[in-house]
Amino acid sequence: MRYPVSYRDLQEILAERGIAVDHATLNRWVVRYSPQIATQAHMRKRRTANSWRVDETYIKVRGKWTYLYQAVDQRWTNARFHAVRAPAICLQRRFFRKAIATNGVPDRVAIDNWAAPI
Question: Which DSSP string corresponds to 48-99?
Answer: PPSEEEEEEEEEEETTEEEEEEEEEETT--EEEEEEESS--HHHHHHHHHHH
Structural domain span for residue 35: 7-43
Q: Give the model confidence (pLDDT) of 2-28 as tens digits.
A: 678 888 998 999 999 999 999 999 999
Rounded CA-CA distance 50/38 in Å is 24
Same domain, 34 and 64: no
In a domain, 1, yes or no: no
Query: Three-state DSSP class for 44?
Result: coil
pLDDT range class, residue 44, cuts 50, 70, 90 = confident
Prediction pTM value: 0.44
Q: What is the mean pLDDT of the chain?
A: 78
Provide the CB-side half-sphere exposure for 41 (13 A, CA). Answer: 6
Same domain, 82 and 60: yes
